[in-house]
Chain A
Amino acid sequence: MKTDLNMMGAKGAIVEEAEGKWGMVIDQDICTGCQACVAACAMENNISFVGEEDAGYGRTQHWIRIERFWEGEYPEVKMTPNQPMLCQQCGQAPCEPVCPVFATPHSNAEQLNLQVYNRCVGTRYCANNCPYQVRSFNWRDYHIDRFHANKVDGKSVYSFHNQFNPDVTVRRRGVMEKCTFCIQRIHKAQDTAKSEGREVVDGEFTTACAQACPANAITFGRVDDHESLVSQLSHQKGGVKHLEELNTLPRVTYLKGG
């Protein structure tokens, strides 16, 4: 059941009371912090690298990042379990109602937070309002920064452009972006299933991060299907949803384990 907050004056916001559709479980006990998910995400989603200086200003475009904190002091110092942080695809997302141009709508069909790049005017309100700090802004046209170009036969050639995934929009300067749960993969799987006259099977596809993870710490799937692996894992003891108290209804469950 859904409540349309538009009726109550909050633009573009939809509250899902159910658990949502797509969800993810991340097992922090086995995440080694190896960054394979970060690299896989970047390669899948045409994410630009920003270079040393902009990275120092906190302008990196990672859609997923590994957080780790320290507890105690030497010699009793401990690294907290690595915590991959990505868009939680909130059922009640703080980023959504603050966008003045409806560039961060909620997908009714997939129950995900969308980002409409060609509608975004770059106010960055959504990023300000995201308690998970998982939105990143294109401060420059990183992909066509001249630094990456080579002069070949008198022309500027950007050889990295060969690698773009044609299923994912390339973002330009002034646009906000964030994790999409690899919605291009969701759509492809749905299209394939539809053409074969069947439902999408659990485990048939997964997100780039989950696919790469050498420890298999990330599980993706339908959380509303109680037979699915992700649903079963998310109901395990020790499952935590971050900043749940803000009533954001996050779709990512963290298993603390240990």
Chain B
Amino acid sequence: MSDKFSRRDFLKLAGVGTVTTVLTGCIAQKEVKREPYMQMPEYNYNGQSTYYATTCRECAAGCGLVVRTMQGRAIKTEGNVNNPLNLGKTCARGQATLHGLYNPDRVRGPIKHARGESLYETPVDPDADDFKNADSNMSWEDALQVVADALKNNKPEEIAFLMGTASDHLFDLVTDLANATGINAPVRFSALNMFESRATLSQAAENLLGEAGLPFFDVGGAQVVFSFGANFLETWLSPVSYTRGFAGLRESKTKLRGTFVQFESRMSSTAGKADEWIPLRPGTEAMVALAIGRLVSELRGNPLPRAFSDIEPLDVAAKSGIKLETLEHLAEMFASSTGALAIPGGAALGQSNGLAVAEAVLALNAVSDNFGKPGGVFLSPIAPNQTEYQRPASAKEMQEFTQQMADGKFKVLFVHGVNPIFELPASLNFKDALKNVEQVISFATFPDEMAVEADYVFPDRHGLESWGYQRVATGAAQPVLSGLQPVVSGVYKPDSTELLYDARATADVLIAAAQLADGKFADALPFQDEVEFLHSKVSSLMTEADGFFSAADADTFIAYFQQNGGWWKLSDARGAPNVADVLNRNISGAESEFAGEGEFFFIPFVSPTLAEAGANKPWLQELPDPTTTVMWNTWAEINPETAHELGIENDDVVKITSEAGELEVPVYLYPAIRPDTIAIPFGQGHTAYGRYAQNRGVNPASLIGQRLNEAGDLAFAGMKVKIEKTERKQFLSRLESRIGVYNEGMEEH
């Protein structure tokens, strides 16, 4: 660790102080107390807070945070008002990041263990006894040697890195290591990206807009927004930024209140905000978009472009279940607006014809002629430190990766920032393929499923204890590099100067191990520590024009970088797409194909509050789902009419079977879902991951097969499933009254 700039050293505990919390209550058997740290960090005064800018690592969006700390503890996260991406705002997960920092189930230190062995002990009677984390059974020095040996003693092509989407600096470090030493380039994956169908969106952007990447949809400047499955108010791409856009759509001093229409078979919480929800039949998104395009062209009196010429609106109406009048009314709405915008995303793209859906919806924007205009579609600015958008792995690439594992191509696998055993559908058999990897080293902060299946767990520090940076892939008008710095030096044991969680930054581990491995590894990462590596990456921005700040020397620049929580440019760098002949393409309006035999379409969706990794944070568990108000569990959404026909009531457990698997889950009678569709949120169903997550709910990924769309994304929404009632009931905890929807239970149904 650096003695030069490391604020971790600034935070090294010095001075004594106390933090007491006022206690109340008439019964004083036990105390609620917070032990003061033995030694206080420098620059801390009793009773006064210190605020540090950093970046949220709960998802990959890269929102800036300002964290309130007091006497060495982080006590509240706020948005960084200067960061152009989130302008001082956070989502619920950003708020609950503290429940990760202080999570009692965090891995306590470097551990060697047998695969499959739990990383904590659950007491037989939790009322009488405490949980116990697995003790660290090796020193960090030994851990470094393990990593060094793994690098040195294997051929480069036998070494693989599987990484999450945050944070980018570590990805860059491993990429540099891979480029210099010939080990496999790191593969990045996140279930969020899988459910966003990022590869499909990026491919469609390349085909139609001339550049691969995530287009920037200017919701805030639009007058009419048609969203085909893009749940941009929940988890899609950059939810805080898109929520601000939505607010702009609704209220503005300069324009009328904008209209929002959502096309999807299940009303998501995004669709709940729409003026009109169009519950089209799954698989008909492409043809509906094309039919609207045709009707709009006709209304405008334009010659019918090739893209829409083959589509027959009357036929589409019959297939999609949307009345022709509705299609005409929507076309009228779209055609008469000067700022109409169409967004493709989410489950609409996760189908066998997902690429066609994305292209058909993007083509609507060509009709609206909004490319590169306010309220239209832009190319996202390329983030600083980057030459092009780096897309995380698609399902196809993960299949290939898993196959290589299964074939024994990898002798050693390093995993950081992703929990593939939970996040990937079980049908991929990632866990089985793992058996053919000789050595698995996990850098997990939390005892997730992947850490349990690893030989070694070398816990990384939590995001709030970490250095780094995150590139803002989309959501801001400027190129933004959000910076991370440790806001606390760690979490300490009571009455002790020892760390409760003896974690070490993975970048530091890799740098130190590379030095130990010597030779080309040492040459590839010639740094003293993570901070020096970070400086080497960031300092180059000093000479770039148009910066939010500038400095004459590197030290000053780095200091500003930390103080401000990153670096960004001042001017709008969104690009106008090159759109020569979008409408002269052939876009297929064929229905998508569905796998499996059941009578119900199956829509898995990401829980808006938990997302892929929130289940171990108890306050996220206790946030009611925005649409169903269910807390702490998984449910299946079924239309009340359908349920009535099947003799299913609220809280009845049903067995759902797909071609890939089956699961049992309690039912929530959801009034806003097609009668032929069922939906299950993704986020629960952990078999590890700490006391708040383990054995809670089910994971709908176990129903998803391995069929892909043209862009290589998983056709996760292209499944048909069977439902069978079981004899069991499981009562869901919900915020809304149990009288619930339609006063059910209050009267004879």
Q: Which residues of A contact B (CB under 8 A)?
A: 27, 29-30, 32-36, 38-40, 42-44, 46, 49-53, 55-56, 60, 62, 65-68, 70, 73-75, 77-79, 82, 117-118, 121, 138, 141, 143-144, 146-153, 155-166, 169-175, 208, 211-217, 257-258
Contact = CB atoms under 8 A, between A and B. Distances in A.
B22 A60 contact: no
B538 interface: no
14 contacts: A33-B627, A34-B233, A34-B243, A60-B735, A151-B131, A152-B133, A155-B494, A159-B104, A159-B106, A162-B34, A169-B23, A169-B24, A211-B79, A212-B78
Contacts of B627: 33, 68, 79
Interface in B82-109: 86, 88-96, 98-99, 101-104, 106
Interface string B651-677: 000000000000000000001111100
Interface size class of B (residues with CB under 8 A): 35 or more
A52 to B, nearest CB: 4
A218 B417 CA distance: 34
Contacts of A60: 622, 631, 735
Instruction: Give the interface centre of A60, A155, A214 by most chain B CB atoms within 10 Å.
Output: A214
B246 A30 contact: yes
Contacts of A166: 19-21, 47, 70, 75
B251 A50 contact: no
Contacts, number: 266
A144 B28 CA distance: 12
Interface string B59-73: 000000000001001
A89 to B, nearest CB: 21
B520 interface: no
Given A35-B624, A143-B32, A151-B130, A43 B96 contact: yes
B669 to A, nearest CB: 11
B24 A77 contact: no
B243 A165 contact: no
Given A53-B733, A169-B22, A39 B96 contact: yes
Contacts of A56: 731-734
B608 interface: yes
Interface in B264-281: 267, 269-270, 272-273, 275, 277, 279
B694 to A, nearest CB: 13
B633 A52 contact: yes
A40 B247 CA distance: 19
A151 B132 contact: yes
A49 B130 contact: no
B75 A117 contact: no
A152 B108 CA distance: 10
B244 interface: yes
Contacts of B749: none
Contacts of B734: 56
A156 B239 contact: no
Nearest to A57: B733
Contacts of A62: 735
Contacts of B128: 146
Contacts of B250: 29-30, 257
Contact of A146 (B89, B95, B130, B742): B130
Given A44-B76, A146-B126, A65 B735 contact: yes
Contacts of B269: 32-34
A43 B247 CA distance: 25
A42 B618 CA distance: 11
A175 B92 CA distance: 27
Contacts of A44: 76
B89 A216 contact: yes
B130 A32 contact: no
B27 interface: yes
A222 to B, nearest CB: 21
A170 B23 contact: yes
Contact of B619 (A39, A148, A174, A213): A39
Contacts of B106: 159
- The list of the 8 closest CB pairs from A to B, nearest first, reads A172-B25, A56-B733, A52-B632, A39-B95, A79-B272, A33-B626, A39-B92, A214-B243
**B-side interface mostly:** loop
B620 interface: yes
Contacts of B92: 34-36, 38-40
B114 to A, nearest CB: 22
Contacts of B257: 29, 257-258
B34 A161 contact: yes
A141 B243 CA distance: 37
A215 B242 CA distance: 9
B603 interface: no
Nearest to A71: B671
Given A32-B273, A33-B272, A149-B130, 17 more contacts: A33-B269, A36-B92, A42-B619, A70-B672, A74-B641, A74-B672, A74-B673, A82-B626, A146-B128, A147-B131, A157-B493, A159-B104, A164-B21, A165-B76, A212-B89, A214-B89, A214-B239
B491 A55 contact: no
Nearest to B91: A36
Interface in B1-32: 19-27, 30-32
B733 A215 contact: no
B22 A170 contact: yes
B233 A175 contact: no
A60 B24 CA distance: 19
B34 A150 contact: no
Contacts of A141: 25, 30, 32
Contacts of B31: 144
A37 to B, nearest CB: 8
A51 B275 CA distance: 35
Contacts of B21: 46, 161, 164, 166, 169-170
Nearest to A78: B277
Contact of B251 (A30, A78, A164, A171): A30
Contact of B247 (A55, A68, A74, A215): A215
Given A42-B619, A214-B86, A30 B126 contact: no
Given A34-B233, A43-B95, A121-B26, A70 B75 contact: no
Interface string B245-264: 01100110000010000000
B251 A27 contact: yes
Nearest to B492: A162
Contacts of A79: 267, 272-273, 627, 672
B462 to A, nearest CB: 12
Contact of B75 (A32, A40, A73, A163): A163
Interface string B270-295: 10110101010000000000000000
A35 B672 contact: no
B621 interface: yes
A149 B500 CA distance: 13
A136 to B, nearest CB: 12
B461 interface: no
Contacts of B620: 39
A121 B78 CA distance: 35
B643 to A, nearest CB: 12
B748 interface: no
A217 B244 CA distance: 10
Contacts of B247: 30, 215-217
A186 to B, nearest CB: 16
B131 A160 contact: no
Given A32-B273, A52-B633, A146-B127, A174 B25 contact: yes
A66 B95 contact: no
A161 B32 contact: yes
A152 to B, nearest CB: 6
B316 to A, nearest CB: 17
A38 B621 CA distance: 12
A224 B28 CA distance: 42
B25 A175 contact: yes
B671 A171 contact: no
B193 interface: no
B715 to A, nearest CB: 25
Contact of A171 (B24, B103, B621, B696): B24
